[in-house]
Structure 1
Amino acid sequence: MGQSNRIEFPGHDGGLLAARLDTPVFRPHAWALFAHCFSCSKDIYAAREITAALVEQRIGVLRFDFTGLGNSEGDFSNTNFTTNVQDLVAAAKWLEEAHGGPQLLIGHSLGGAAVIVAAHDIPQVKAVVTIGAPSDAAHVIKAIRTHVEQIEDEGEAEVQLAGRPFVLKRQFLEDVRGAKVTEAVGGLKRPLLVMHAPLDETVGIENATNLFVAARHPKSFISLDKADHLLTSPGNAQRAGKLIAVWAEPYVFDAGAAMPVQEAGVTRDVVVRETGRSKYENAVVIGDYVSIADEPIDVGGGGRGPDPYEYVAAGLGACTSMTLRMYADRKGWPLEHVAVSITHSKDYVDDCLHCEEGRKIDVFDRAITIEGNLNADQRARMMEIADKCPVHQTLETGGHVRTVETPTKST
């Protein structure tokens, strides 16, 4: 629900690292730096979905490919855990110079171990999150255990990781064996959130236990129940991103980025634009507020937000409630609470003066609940006032839509 721009910055050895900077529609509350899993990339499903969830909560995200992976320059065979940490520090330096971040470090799998170690060299970081992270960087050797002897004897070997060939050298084994992740987490001195799937078959749940026990308070653990290591099941990565945003709020949010108060009498434009995440999903931007519009899954949508008619119904319901509250306050009546339920359908209406015979029109059935010590006459008057709601009158009498094409840079 923002912008996603491709950028490049120099990594630990000066080679350019390919990255994406995902920015919310409005000024971010905080910036996060995301480290992907071993031999993965910034564009892996979990990274994309977690980033999208964070952006919805006004957290900007920088995610990048480590040296030699994805679209980044460099030779993967010359990299190791230490160079990954150095790449993270380089990414944090770029983000600090460009946007003043990161305030939040997030690492997935081996990337989680890397952010714990890198945090010691990124002073502006206020909180750290690990997802399915090993408590020992050498855990990654299990994925290449059949090649370890060859690597140690011959100095290198080609291994298959996630169906792709990579060359690993002896220095890689030596480096991960020497990494001190548990020691680093003990001296982290930042709030830590450990997220792990109990059924993770790649990095066992005992790793989460080791990290959590070694960390000092404040620390938190969230179980990603029924998820796999790469969070590939629908909804798991999005859920993880939302939980991260909620957890991080008291530690990293910038109060100065709060939305300004709406001025009375000011009409704000409503801007709707595609998010690019699914076929019909759109961001609805109203002043400084953002929400999602979508279509149901059964018609090809993602089902992640109200459909357009539900937004119309919401407008009618909100307008009705506000109109009744204004009227009761003006009269000094003891109105305690108003609730409005709207149901939209298409039907044949006999008393529609402007409808063609036999044609269905849109019908909004409205049920109003009025709580308070009002007498019968007052309640009857309140029901009459409900029909004075401006949105109600617009729907009843009809409006007029004027349409123009806005030129783009390419037209």
Structure 2
Amino acid sequence: MAFTVSVLGATGSIGRSTTDLLAQHADRFRVGAVVGGRDAQALAKLAREMKAEFAALADESAGPALAEALAGSGIPNGAGESAVLEAVARDADIVVAAVSGAAGLKPTHAALRLGRTVALANKESLVCAGEAFMRDAKRYGATLLPVDSEHNALAQALGHGPVSDVAKMTITASGGPFRTWTRERIAAATAAEAAAHPTWSMGMKINIDSASLMNKGLELIEAHHLFGLGHDRLDAIVHPQSIVHGLVYWLDGAVTAGLAMPDMRVPIAHCLGLGERLTIARGRPLDLAAAGSLTFEPVDEDRFPCLRIARAALHDGGAAPTVMNAANEIAVAAFIRGEIAFYGIADLVERTCEHFSGIHRTAPEDVDAALAIDAEARAWSAQALPRLRAAG
């Protein structure tokens, strides 16, 4: 029996890793819908190769180009929000939710409302609307499987052990390109330097989040919702080799950990297997003797203040994570454009969080409420940018 898999964010790094696995196991899977952002040629090529049943682009203006690129293929296609939601509504056993940023909330939630098994790589869904997502997953009988290597490792390390027996969970960070840099050198970093991740290739925005360690902050918030642990039972540690991805500390002093080579196909395969293990062609088996040593370091929140800010948002709860994520997306885009310095990212995010701290105290009740808060925080952050540039 073949399982049908739809891939949201099919042309991104997670999407490409997913379709690589689907192609390797073509006898086990068929591809339902593939969804991309605006690259018509890339999506059309992928849809043809994977014999997808439907293709959609989020950018409505790219619709004619997609239709032309798929002419003669017999693959139905469309563009714009309605086409993306049509893609999600098509029959699928597993929906891989890999759209980056807050743009992934609506399609991911639509899959959840249909009771699908959702392999979740869009961490912003839980950062921006975690309470609503977890509530609705239970309400509609959906299953959320973590694709992020850290959360997938935690899920495997947890096994069938009850969360009540867990003292804490720790996710690891490679430390990014600035792990050994001084604060002064980091302050002068360019976008190209920040995006030069030593281990992963995840797209420019996510790579910069990794350089600032905001990515770890988002992942701590995600872990809070996935595993139901409070902020005081979640931690992050720097592990440059990126072999240990997550650790579960038990009440009796034992620790279980999830280890694998840094290859996103490993956690994706775990999700696609639905309890069975898939082989990975061209995968690199973990050889601890060859690795030699595994090292760990505490996070320096003076050099990486974004993690401190994210911890505070998790502690404050309510809509604080929603506001923080919106401000970070605005700040990172401004940094990429050269409008602010690297530490301007943390400055803008912190100012935005402080501004909204007394305004949105409760968590968004649904996705629409989360997106409304997101839009409000983005607008304020964008207006604050000139003042930040003038001050810095």
- Normalising by the smaller structure, the TM-score range is under 0.3
The normalised TM-score by structure 1 is 0.25
Write 1 or 2 for the structure with the bigger share of helix.
Answer: 2
Relative contact order (alpha carbons < 8 A, sep ≥ 6): 1 or 2 greater?
Answer: 2
Write 1 or 2 for the structure with the bigger share of strand.
Answer: 1
